[in-house]
Amino acid sequence: MMEAVVPKLPSFNFLNPNSTAVGKIVFRRFSCSSSSLSPSVLVSADSESVSLGHITRPDFPILHQVIENKQPWRSSIPLPSIFYLLTLVYVCMQEVNGKKLVYLDNAATSQKPVAVIKALQNYYEAYNSNVHRGIHCLSAKATDEYELARKKVAAFINASDSREIVFTRNATEAINLVAYSWGLSNLKPEDEIILTIAEHHSAIVPWQLVSQKTGAILKFLNLNDNEIPDLDKLKEMLSRKTKLVVTHHVSNTLASVLPIEEIVHWAHDVGAKVLVDACQSVPHMVVDVQGLDADFLVASSHKMCGPTGIGFLYGKSDLLSAMPPFLGGGEMISDVFLDPSTYAEPPSRFEAGTPAIGEAIGLGAAIDYLSAIGMQRIHEYEIELATYLYENLLSVPNVRIYGPKPSENVHRAALCSFNVENIHPTDVATILDQQHGVAIRSGHHCTQPLDRYLGVNASARASLYLYNTKGDVDDFIQALNETVNFFDMFR
């Protein structure tokens, strides 16, 4: 098992083989300053043709920053002895340089465009008030914008009615809502729930808890030889005992895209419901819940250019109407008596207490932003980026990429989880960040059962979005090659 080395290093020019600068170390605390580059400069900065990434990048203020050295050097940080000694030598020789931020951690969260930031600011500055029941103009305005956001979500995923959209804190809470409200009411001993081994923890743990309470049985679908959930095996596993299929639309680790419409059809044939984790699909492609015929679908705002702290559950009207409340309190009631109370109709039944009003309005603004560009346009651009990322990452020595190979019939999402032989992914991510300004993610990506199946304990992950460019991929690949060369010095 590889052990991670996680030093906090200043930025050394020696990691760049083309650098000849020599100077004394300058210690500075983390700082971010806005670049003075105009959108026109950003578009014409290199010979690459103008892409969707170039067009949209000026809308995201955080991407205009130069990231400087984040931490002063601390000699107390434990390091392997040779690494420690070599580092001290180069500290004395090199200067800490600023570097351009290359943000490739979009599967964890996306950046926010100015339109979303302004929508939040406008709510708090112009009409901050609690929603529903208030008769004054601020409350009426806040209520209208909050409910308008619900209608925008419904239209974005083509729900038949905005009342099929329940706002939650995040997709995790949305899955828990289904688990505790629908699951506890409908599952009984020996009923079966089928999940893929590639599910996010938030789609596994709630059903483990519910199965312990109900006696339902969890069954897991493994991968095929292409490192995609084995759909032929899924058809064999489905039976009249199956009450629910829980599946991702796009895997946050494998980058595989599943045919949800087919899965739903097979499940419905045996009388089972389907819950779709669409956190990695709704931000990146057209998702039509009526076309998919999914019973439940969840997604998060913060992965689709919206604020954190809000997500949503889509549920078919007849299912939501039959489900009991998930949380009790204000807003979710019809009438409260000293004996049992009566409850509001969905979606209010599932939105107890003061909701995330500003966040919902911000999500609405994010949907406006994405819709103005066009989800099909975003999807087509990201398919191109995904192939470019995959093919270039393969050129790095000793790299293992997880998930299917792209082909005419297999489109990967625009992310790659990978490992470099004999280098811990956290070490890779640390050096990429501190020496090159490249932000990727390392760890288990909340898919530990999948990691164990693949025989790893962690991986690095680079993930792209509409504002990324092939130039970002080039910068990442160059930085990764330099990082690998750096660690090769100690072998």
For the annotated catalytic residues, the residue numbers are: 446
Distances (CA, A) of 209 to 43, 146, 214, 290, 409: 50, 33, 9, 30, 38
Q: How far apart are the first and last CA of the chain?
A: 17
Q: Which residues pair with 194 in a beta bridge?
A: 219, 245
Query: Which has the closest alpha carbon to 204: 452, 442, 416?
Result: 452
CA gap 323, 331 in Å, rounded: 16
SS3 70: coil
Query: Which has the closest alpha carbon to 32: 69, 66, 78?
Result: 66
CA gap 466, 385 in Å, rounded: 9
> Cβ of 366: how many Cβ atoms within 10 Å?
27
Query: Which has the closest alpha carbon to 53: 103, 94, 114?
Result: 103
CA gap 110, 415 in Å, rounded: 13
CA-atom Rg of the chain in angstroms: 24
DSSP conformational letter for 474: H
Query: Which has the closest alpha carbon to 275: 305, 234, 300, 243?
Result: 243
CA angle in degrees (0–180, nearest 5) for 98-102-105:
130
CA gap 468, 63 in Å, rounded: 10
Supply the DSSP string of 355-408, one letter for each residue: --HHHHHHHHHHHHHHHHH-HHHHHHHHHHHHHHHHHHHTTSTTEEE-SPPP-S
Amino acid at 310: I
DSSP conformational letter for 183: I
CA gap 193, 218 in Å, rounded: 5
CA gap 108, 101 in Å, rounded: 16
DSSP conformational letter for 223: B
CA gap 69, 42 in Å, rounded: 23
Host H or E run for residue 420: strand 415-420
Please report, to the nearest 10 degrees, the dihedral formed by the alpha carbons of residues 323, 324, 330, 334 taken in order.
80
CA gap 255, 415 in Å, rounded: 6
